[in-house]
């Protein structure tokens, strides 16, 4: 058997073989004479350890129930981390185990560091002797380093990162003679990761999965990948779990050694474990009868048993164990296992997490103690009641009800708001944040750092980012780049910048070979040299070099096509709507096709972000004004220390808390997400409801839930219906925003414009009194915004923005309207006048009269040629062109045939 020595470890008292060491006297449950003498030295008040004195009864029970299997169901904000760290400190302080005999597993390195720090505060330097405190993967590395030869590796093996894995798989795909564009390496890497999360080796994957890739060669490619890893003396992250599982099954003597080593096993966030992690844990925790540990360090109650004999018998390697396997021997087994988790917060099923792992804990470990932590220290009674009522609609749960002992009669109820569309939603949330920033009666302000907007999908962020820039509100995006910092958005903006400003060499260099055009570093270096030598932009240098023989034929042809495209787009700049021009650029450059052909999981989201980018351009007069706006957005620094509103997805928010939380987008299809419903059925719906529960329980004092009647989805405005989750909220703890509030809608203008005193069901709008009658100039929102954000925007306005206000893609425009009249600014949209270029009306984005064309009419477009009108919306025509396909254009740009 390989050497099991550990420089941090102490000899086992029950180790067989070798010269037996003198057995120390058995210690009692209280820790023995030495422990009681230490306590006596500190005085009678120390009989109750300080580390348990501040715990509530449920927490203390979870800490002191040290023997046998224990499941701690810890609700949101109930002190889960404190219980886990105090439990470890209690085991060490009472002498039940040495630090090296405790296996403590977390999910992230950050959580492991925090746990180690907290334990150190409680027990001092003893925490430094805990080599088995870490993540699943870090402990897997330690196991493989010790027993590398049993896993078919050498101890100096390499762990490949994602890029290395993709590059290796691409080589294998090409070696098989397959098209790596049709069968992308990234896609197969994700499939392998999913198989390893389930504990599948090449022989274990289902036949359907094996045949779903590379014309049925999935299994062979997986086997070739594993063989190649072995040749390279390398493994990927999935192997850090799968290889120890196989090692334990094939070498029961090694497994038995770790059964004797680990006296106590603790697992955090158990609801997020996948199948492989579950198998790994059961192998270590469930012990055959013959391996029942008899260490004299044990103390406390004798109840609790574990089932299963996975170490010696069972299915072939890497095959998931059957539920309840080995229950016949359960009464003879004991395992000191403590799993802490919350089945109501299992929200990572999309990456392999199995909520069933925590739901079947009592079946896997018969006689297990289940302790519920329901006393919440974070949220108000209204928020907790709302969360509990919502999650109670799930069937697959163990059940618990959160409560708080700190009732506040003045606490706000959960607020539900309705808005007309996503723009109004963002505007109203921004106004609420501005109002919260105003000093209260005691002069206190609500810090932006204590507010968060939690969205279901990342595309929702863009509306809020743009609104906050307009208001001058600081914000930060957590869990991913801000909208305008995403790769596909930066690429798109680079195209736009070169069209609007041909001398922008940085932008040109970014996209000259994106998508791939065969223009490598050598060609780009030549362009640099020529541009510097002649003192001209790179685009001009490219225009010159393609007329010479300095480049080879293929790159010269590709570069000529790039130059011609940009020159053509620049000519279209002055007479084509900038949104339509953006679509043309994406299509003719091949950028859209590049992402359509990409089979990675991120590709659909990138295409949606491009559609959202074009949609956002509609609000701006010209391409240049849009580029200036984005420049201002990008100039907002991401400073973690500044006071800023946090924007993130619900999945990224788990474990965090904020004074005020906004939950926008509670509509069917978005939340619950349609993809989850289609792919997961009832289980998908229940995971979406758990995600809603997580969002609700992030709020400490104020919670605002929003839904809209219209939202742009896949580039088209669609009517939406409220989420089913809204009807699952308790009426006693929820208030609906009154119609007369300042949240969006049409208010007085609604009534006046339709005759009579009809009430606007969506509430009054701040625009109703703008520039109208005797109310002009009065009220909280009259001719200018009476908000801190508007004041900041006015103070930050520069001469450059004023000069750009009246330009359209560089051409002079008489800019009257859209907030500006002949006599004043801020007069509202009702007074917008026609926009003209050089005195001639080119086109209007909206018209009061119907289009002159009818469905079926034959028309001609200067760019797209002939086509037939397929649909009409105002003055916007959807046309099926003979060669260019279906496009949406203004009727002012087509003529009848």
Annotated binding site for ATP: 74-81
Q: Which of 229, 321, 334 is nearest to 283 (CA)?
A: 321
Which tokens hold the place of 493?
């903006």
Place of tokens 């109650």: 301
CA distance 211 to 213: 6
b/e per residue 195-219 (b: at least 16 CB within 10 A)? bbbbbbbbebbeeebbeebbeebbb
Give the SS3 label for residue 264.
Answer: strand
Residues recognised as catalytic: 80-81, 268-269, 345, 698
Secondary structure in 3-state letters for 834-880: CCEECCECCCCCCCCCCCCCCCCCEEEECCCEEEEEEEEECCEEEEE
CA distance 455 to 46: 49
Q: What are phi and psi of 894, to 5 degrees?
A: -125, 160
Q: Which helix (H) or strand (E) holds 703?
A: strand 699-713
159-164: list long-range contacts, CB under 8 Å, 24+ apart.
Answer: 159/234, 159/235, 159/236, 159/237, 159/240, 160/229, 160/234, 160/235, 160/236, 162/189
Which tokens hold the place of 3?
């050497």
Which tokens hold the place of 43?
């005085």
CA distance 67 to 304: 7
Q: For residues 536 and 550, is the Cβ–Cβ distance under 8 A? A: no
Torsion-angle region of 873 (φ positive above 0: left; ψ -120 to 50: alpha; else: beta): beta
How far from 829 is each of 168, 468, 622, 850, CA to CA, in Å?
Answer: 58, 21, 18, 20
Binding residues: 74-81
Q: From start to end of 107-239, where are the E strands?
A: 133-135, 158-159, 234-235
CA distance 32 to 26: 8
Number of alpha carbons in the 13 Å side-chain half-sphere of residue 122: 26
Q: For residues 809 and 578, is the Cβ–Cβ distance under 8 A? A: yes
List all residues 6 or more positions away from 692 whose beta carbon is below 8 Å from its beta carbon. 390, 650, 663, 666, 671, 725
Which tokens hold the place of 511?
């996209």
**Polymer length in residues for the chain:** 897
Q: For residues 614 and 716, is the Cβ–Cβ distance under 8 A? A: no
Burial of 620 (0-12, 13-18, 19+ CB in 10 A): middle
Q: Measure CA 72 to chain center.
A: 27
Which tokens hold the place of 474?
């600081």
Which tokens hold the place of 719?
């009517």
How far from 117 is each of 72, 76, 124, 126, 270, CA to CA, in Å?
Answer: 22, 22, 9, 11, 21
């Amino acid at each position: 058997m390989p050497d099991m020595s550990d420089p941090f470890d102490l000899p086992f008292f029950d180790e067989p073989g070798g010269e037996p060491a003198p057995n120390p006297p058995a210690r009692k449950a209280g820790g023995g004479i030495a422990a009681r003498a230490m306590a006596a030295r500190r005085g009678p008040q120390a009989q109750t350890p300080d580390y348990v004195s501040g715990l509530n009864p449920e927490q203390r029970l979870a800490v002191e129930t040290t023997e046998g299997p224990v499941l701690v169901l810890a609700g949101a904000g109930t002190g889960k981390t404190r219980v886990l760290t105090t439990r470890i400190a209690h085991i060490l302080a009472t002498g039940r185990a040495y630090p090296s005999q405790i296996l403590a597993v977390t999910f992230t390195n950050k959580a492991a560091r925090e746990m180690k720090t907290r334990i150190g505060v409680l027990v001092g330097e003893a925490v430094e002797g805990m080599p088995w405190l870490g993540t699943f993967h870090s402990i897997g590395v330690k196991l493989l380093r010790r027993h590398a030869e049993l896993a078919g590796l050498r101890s100096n093996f390499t762990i490949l990162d994602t890029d290395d894995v993709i590059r290796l798989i691409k080589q294998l795909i090409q070696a098989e003679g397959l098209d790596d564009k049709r069968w992308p390496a990234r896609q197969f890497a994700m499939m392998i990761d999913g198989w390893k999360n389930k504990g599948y080796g090449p022989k274990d994957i289902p036949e359907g999965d094996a045949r779903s890739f590379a014309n049925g060669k999935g299994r062979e490619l997986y086997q070739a990948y594993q063989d190649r890893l072995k040749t390279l003396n390398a493994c990927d992250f999935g192997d850090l779990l799968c290889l120890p599982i196989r090692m334990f099954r094939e070498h029961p003597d090694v497994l038995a050694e770790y059964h004797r080593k680990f006296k106590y096993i603790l697992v955090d966030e158990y609801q997020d474990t996948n199948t492989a992690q579950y198998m790994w844990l059961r192998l270590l925790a469930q012990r055959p009868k013959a391996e029942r540990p008899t260490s004299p360090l044990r103390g406390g109650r004798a109840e609790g048993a574990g089932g299963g004999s996975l170490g010696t018998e069972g299915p072939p390697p890497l095959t998931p164990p059957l539920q309840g396997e080995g229950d016949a021997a359960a009464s003879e087994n004991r395992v000191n296992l403590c799993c802490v988790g919350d089945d109501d917060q299992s929200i990572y099923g999309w990456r392999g997490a199995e909520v069933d792992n925590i739901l079947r804990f009592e079946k896997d470990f018969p006689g297990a103690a289940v302790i519920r932590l329901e006393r919440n220290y974070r949220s108000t009674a209204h928020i907790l009641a709302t969360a509990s009522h919502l999650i109670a609609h799930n069937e697959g749960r163990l059940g618990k009800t959160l409560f708080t002992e700190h009732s506040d009669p003045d606490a706000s109820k959960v607020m539900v708001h309705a808005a007309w569309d996503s723009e109004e939603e963002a505007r109203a949330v921004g106004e609420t944040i501005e109002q919260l920033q105003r000093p209260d009666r005691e002069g206190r302000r609500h810090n932006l750092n204590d507010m968060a907007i939690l969205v279901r999908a990342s595309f929702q962020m863009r509306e809020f980012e743009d609104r906050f820039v307009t208001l001058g509100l600081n914000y930060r995006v957590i869990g991913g780049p801000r909208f305008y910092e995403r790769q596909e958005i930066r690429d798109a903006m680079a195209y736009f910048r070169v069209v609007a400003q041909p001398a922008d060499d940085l932008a040109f260099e970014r996209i000259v070979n994106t998508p791939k055009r065969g223009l490598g570093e050598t060609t780009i270096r030549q362009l640099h040299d020529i541009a510097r030598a002649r003192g001209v932009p790179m685009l001009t240098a490219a225009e010159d070099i393609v007329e010479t023989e300095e480049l080879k034929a293929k790159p010269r042809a590709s570069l000529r096509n790039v130059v011609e495209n940009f020159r053509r787009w620049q000519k279209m700049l002055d007479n084509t709507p900038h949104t339509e021009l953006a679509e043309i650029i994406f299509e003719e450059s091949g950028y859209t096709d590049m992402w359509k052909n990409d089979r990675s999981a991120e590709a659909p989201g990138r295409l949606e972000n491009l559609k959202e980018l074009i949609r956002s351009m509609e609000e701006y007069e010209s391409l240049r004004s849009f580029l200036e706006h984005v420049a201002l957005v990008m100039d907002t620094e991401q400073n973690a220390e500044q006071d800023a509103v946090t924007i993130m997805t619900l999945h990224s928010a788990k474990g965090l808390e904020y004074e005020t939380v906004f939950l926008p987008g509670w509509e069917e299809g978005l939340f619950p997400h349609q993809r989850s419903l289609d792919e997961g059925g009832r289980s998908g719906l229940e995971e979406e409801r758990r995600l809603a529960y997580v969002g609700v329980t992030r709020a400490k004092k104020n919670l605002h839930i929003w839904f809209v009647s219209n939202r742009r989805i896949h580039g088209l405005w669609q009517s939406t219906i409220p989420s089913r989750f809204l009807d699952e909220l308790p009426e006693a703890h929820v208030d609906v925003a009154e119609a007369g509030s300042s949240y969006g809608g049409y208010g007085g203008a609604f009534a006046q414009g339709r005759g009579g005193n009809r009430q606007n069901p969506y509430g009054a709008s701040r625009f109703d009194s703008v520039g109208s009658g005797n109310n002009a100039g009065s009220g909280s929102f009259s001719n200018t915004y009476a908000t801190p954000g508007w004041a900041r925007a006015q103070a930050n306005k520069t001469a450059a923005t004023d000069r750009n206000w009246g330009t359209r893609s560089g051409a002079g425009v008489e800019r009257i309207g859209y907030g500006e009249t002949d006599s004043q600014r801020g007069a509202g949209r009702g007074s917008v006048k026609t926009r003209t270029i050089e005195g001639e009306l080119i086109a209007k984005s909206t018209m009061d009269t119907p289009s002159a064309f009818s469905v079926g009419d034959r028309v001609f477009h200067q760019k797209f040629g002939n086509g037939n009108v397929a649909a009409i919306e105002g003055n916007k025509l959807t046309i099926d062109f003979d060669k260019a396909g279906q496009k949406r254009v203004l009727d002012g740009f087509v003529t009848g045939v």
